[in-house]
């Protein structure tokens, strides 16, 4: 087979030149020696071989991408997509007047949790029939399809907002998440003396015609890891309160999308 000719990409060139410029400034300031450089290359090689590059990048870089893109914009603040989203989640069915039920095992361990949301845009218009993806971790604190032994799409699903932009999902309360500590990312955390925890969170992704896709997370007041989230994903707009209803917990949040 013939190798396909790849065209010059001006954006790649522009970004790479900027990157090199800042790498030079960084190296001058950090006074990196050659042994440190070699240690870094070996560590980065281990990171890639362990399949942890997405984890490391999402924990240490993604927050900065989001902050530089969105800090001054109206609408709900985005948060990290993270390394644990998978395409192809089940479409959740719904009986009239009942909440959606996030895909789960018949005996799914955890506290029953009803999460409701309202989706509108920055002009205050409710967004009906918008596509919503939701995923979160289980009572082993792990994500299906990755470190949990649950089925691939457990605690993952998608659904559509109703005619008023509202939705309600029955699931279980997510747990604070320790990122894996047994690989090169964990090794790095030890060098920093940084704990591996993320506060408990829901992941949500909203798509509505004519609007910017909103990828975000929801956090819970009182969680002990909010201030020191290893991935720095917490934003003021994304806090909700878990209300104890005896047999179950409930929480809600409004989400606001930006017209394109």
Q: Under the rule (CB under 6 A), what is the footprint of ligand MBD?
A: 55, 58-59, 80, 82-84, 177, 179, 198, 231, 233
Which is closer to Fe ion, CB of 78 or CB of 82? 82
Cβ atoms of 204 and 81 closer than 8 Å: no
Gap between the Cα atoms of 258 and 122, Å rounded? 6
Encoded tokens for 187: 């090794």
> Given the complex with ligand MBD, which of 93 and 190 has the nearer CB atom?
190
Beta bridge partners of 134: 157, 204
179 binds, among Fe ion, ligand MBD, none (CB under 5 to 8 A by kind): ligand MBD
Min. distance of Cβ 227 from Fe ion in angstroms?
A: 17
Q: Which is nearer to ligand MBD, 121 or 156 (CB)?
A: 156
Q: Does 145 bind Fe ion (CB under 5 A)?
A: no
Task: Copy the structure tokens of residue 190.
Answer: 């030890």
Enumerate residues 61-100 that contact Fe ion by CB under 5 A: 82
Cα dist from 80 to 23, 60, 61, 195, 249, whole Å: 25, 11, 10, 19, 25
243: its two tokens? 């209300």
Nearer to Fe ion, 75 or 82 (CB): 82
Residue nearest to ligand MBD (CB): 82
Residues 6+ apart with CB under 8 A from 32: none
Residue 231 contact among ligand MBD, Fe ion, none, beta carbon within 5 to 8 Å by kind: ligand MBD
Question: Which parts of this chain interact with Fe ion (CB under 5 A)?
Answer: 82
């Amino acid at each position: 087979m013939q190798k396909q000719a790849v065209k010059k990409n001006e954006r790649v060139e522009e970004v790479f030149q900027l990157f090199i410029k800042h790498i030079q400034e960084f190296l001058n300031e950090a006074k990196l020696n050659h042994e440190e450089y070699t240690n870094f290359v070996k560590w980065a090689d281990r990171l890639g071989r362990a399949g942890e590059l997405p984890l490391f990048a999402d924990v240490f870089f993604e927050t900065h991408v989001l902050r530089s893109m969105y800090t001054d914009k109206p609408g709900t603040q985005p948060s990290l997509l993270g390394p644990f989203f998978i395409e192809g989640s089940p479409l959740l069915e719904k009986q009239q007047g009942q909440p959606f039920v996030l895909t789960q095992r018949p005996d799914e361990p955890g506290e029953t949790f009803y999460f409701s949301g309202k989706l509108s845009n920055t002009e205050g218009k409710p967004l009906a029939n918008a596509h919503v993806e939701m995923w979160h971790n289980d009572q082993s604190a792990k994500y299906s399809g990755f470190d949990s032994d649950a089925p691939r799409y457990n605690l993952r699903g998608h659904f559509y907002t109703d005619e008023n932009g509202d939705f309600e999902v029955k699931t279980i309360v997510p747990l604070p998440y320790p990122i894996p500590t047994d690989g090169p990312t964990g090794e790095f955390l030890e060098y920093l003396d940084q704990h591996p925890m993320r506060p408990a969170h829901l992941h949500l992704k909203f798509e509505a015609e004519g609007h910017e896709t909103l990828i975000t997370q929801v956090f819970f007041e009182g969680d002990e890891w909010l201030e020191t989230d290893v991935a720095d994903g917490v934003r003021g707009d994304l806090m909700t309160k878990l209300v104890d209803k005896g047999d179950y917990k409930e929480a809600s949040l409004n989400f606001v999308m930006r017209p394109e």
